[in-house]
Amino acid sequence: MNEKDRLRPSDAHEPAAERPSEPLVREEERPPTEGGAKTKRKPSRARLLVWLIELALLLACVEHFVVRPWLARRSPAKPPRKVILPFGDPAPLVWGGASPVAGVAEYSEARLSLLRGLADGSAAARETQVMTSRQHRLPIEIENGIAMRFRLIPAGTFSMGSPETERGRWEGEKQHVASVSRPFYLGTHEVTQAQWMSVMPTNPSRFDGDNRPVEEVDWYDCQRFVIALCEKEGVDVGTYRLPTEIEWEYACRAGTTTAYHFGSQMKGLGAFADYAGNNDRETREVGRRRPNAYGLYDMHGNVWEWCQDLFKAYPGGPALDPSRRDWRMLRGGNWHEPASTCRSANRCRLPPLSKGNVLGFRVLRRIDAAFLEAPGGAVNETPGADSQANAKEVTPTQSIENGAETPKDGEKTHD
C-alpha cells in the first residue's frame, strides 16, 4: 500500500449524509397489497359511533325544523279536545222566565257541583248555597251580556288563614275568624280573553286563546275593565269589581278547612288545577279542571288573581314592611308555581303596576240590596267592614319595580 492509499479515507469513514438512508419500515414488514395499490385504514369504532350520532342529530333537526312545519301547513287544524267534566244535579231555577235584574239572565243549564272528591264541609256549603237561592230568589248561576257567568256565594263566617301544621304556610297566614256579611256573585271562571276583548280595545295576553284567561294585566288594568263593564252593562260603577281577599278565600274554601278545597294532599291537585306539577308551560283554557262546591273553577292554579284590597297583616300576624304597604293582593297560585303556592290560604302581593303572563283576575258582581231583605224586612245596604271594597276609579300614580312576592320567600312573575 503506497503512501497515497494509506492517507485516503476508508469507506467506513464516509460522511453519514452520503450513506443510503434505510427505510423507516422494512420491506418484509409492509402489509401486503394487491397490484401494488396503497391500502386505506379502516375507521375505528369510536369514529363510526360519532358519525352515527352526528347523522341522528342532523335528521332530528330536519324533522323538527323542516318536516313538521311542512306537515302542519298541509294538515287541517284539529279542533281542541273537549274535556267532559262530571256534574251534579241540575240547579233549581228561581226566575224561570224574564229576569228581574237588568243586564243578567238566569243560566238555565246550571248544575250543582259534584261532591265526590271534595273535602269535608263541601256538602254543607252547597246546601247553604241552595238555601240562599230559595230564600232570596237568587239564581245559583247568572250570565251577563258578554257571556260572563257568575255563581251565587252565600254569606257566612269562616276560619281564614292556615294552621301551623299546614305544609308550605308562612307566619303571615295566622288563622283568625272572618265574615262575609252578604251574599254576592263571583265569576265562575277567570276572565277570558274573549270577554276582555268584548270590553277593551286590545288583548295584552302572551298565550293567545279566546277561552284562556287574560294575562299580562296589572291591577289598574283590572279596574279599567270592571268600570268599562259597568258602563257597557248599564249598571252603577261598583256593581262589578274585584273580590276582596276575604271574599276570595271564603269562596275558594267553599266550607272547607283543608289546604285545598278537595283536601290537604298535594297529589290530588292535578284534577282541580293547572300548576307546575302538571303544566309548567302556559295557561290553559278555563273550566278544564273540576270546580269546588260552589261551582267555581280554577280557584287553584292557572293564573294568579288580583284582589281589590291592599296587603294588610292578619290579627296577631307579623308587622307590615312599610315599603310594601301600597302593594295589592294576589290569590290562587298559577300554572308555573308549585302546589304549596296554590293553597287556599296562600297570600301573595305585588306592586299594582306589575304585569306578567301569570297574572289575571276574576270579577265579582254585587247583589242589589232589594234582593237581600231579611225576614223582618230589614235590608243590609252595606257590606261588612271586612268585605268592603273601594269601587272608585283609580289611576296609576307612580311606577313600582315589578316582582311578585309572598312575604315568605318573594314570589316573582315569569315573562
Closest CA to 148 of 226, 70, 92: 226
pLDDT at position 188 is 98
> Could you give phi then psi for residue 227, rounded to 5 degrees?
-70, -45
Do 362 and 243 contact (CB within 8 A), yes or no? yes
Instruction: Please give the C-alpha separations between residue 233 and each of 146, 307, 409, in angstroms, as whole numbers.
Output: 9, 22, 41
Residue 57: inside a domain, yes or no?
no
Element (H, E) at 219: helix 219-233
pLDDT at position 130 is 96
User: What type of residue sits at position 42?
Assistant: K
Check which CATH number belongs to the domain holding 370 and give it: 3.90.1580.10
Cell of 380: 243590609
Question: Strands, DSSP E only, in 20-79?
Answer: none
Residue 414: inside a domain, yes or no?
no
Do 144 and 150 contact (CB within 8 A), yes or no? yes
Overall pTM surpassing 0.75 (yes/no): no
Q: What is the pLDDT along the chain (415 residues), one digit of tens a residue?
A: 555 555 455 454 555 455 555 554 444 445 555 555 556 677 888 888 888 899 998 988 888 888 877 776 666 545 445 555 667 889 988 887 778 887 899 998 999 999 999 999 999 999 999 999 999 999 999 999 999 999 999 999 999 999 999 999 999 999 999 999 999 999 999 999 999 999 999 999 999 999 999 999 999 999 999 999 999 999 999 999 999 999 999 999 999 999 999 999 999 999 999 999 998 799 999 999 999 999 999 999 999 999 999 999 999 888 878 888 899 999 999 999 999 999 999 999 999 999 999 999 999 999 987 777 644 333 333 333 344 443 333 333 333 233 345 444 333 344 3
Residue 380: inside a domain, yes or no?
yes
User: What type of residue sits at position 73?
Assistant: R
Q: Cell numbers 240590596 label which residue? A: 369
Q: What is the distance between the alpha carbons of residues 273 and 260, in angstroms, rounded to a whole number?
A: 10
pLDDT at position 155 is 97
Q: What is the distance between the alpha carbons of residues 407 and 391, in angstroms, rounded to a whole number?
A: 27
Cell of 267: 297529589
Closest CA to 187 of 106, 97, 248, 117: 248
Q: What is the distance between the alpha carbons of residues 41 and 20, in angstroms, rounded to a whole number?
A: 30
Number of compact structural domains in the chain:
1
The parent domain of residue 368 ranges over 104-387
Q: What is the distance between the alpha carbons of residues 172 and 313, in angstroms, rounded to a whole number?
A: 7
Give strand pairing partners of 153. 184
Residue 153: inside a domain, yes or no?
yes
Cell of 397: 300614580
Buried b / exposed e over 304-323, threshold 16 CB at 10 Å, is bbbbbbbbeebeebeeeeee
pLDDT at position 43 is 81
- Residue 384: CA count within 13 A, CB half-sphere: 14
pLDDT at position 74 is 67
Residue 9: inside a domain, yes or no?
no
Q: What is the distance between the alpha carbons of residues 204 and 127, in angstroms, rounded to a whole number?
A: 39
Element (H, E) at 73: helix 68-74
> Could you give phi then psi for residue 180, rounded to 5 degrees?
-115, 115
Q: What is the distance between the alpha carbons of residues 234 and 104, in angstroms, rounded to a whole number?
A: 11
Closest CA to 331 of 305, 294, 299, 313: 305
Residue 345: inside a domain, yes or no?
yes
pLDDT at position 118 is 97
Q: What is the distance between the alpha carbons of residues 17 and 288, in angstroms, rounded to a whole number?
A: 91
Q: Provide the pairing of β-strand 156-160 with 149-153.
A: unpaired
Residue 295: inside a domain, yes or no?
yes
pLDDT at position 402 is 33
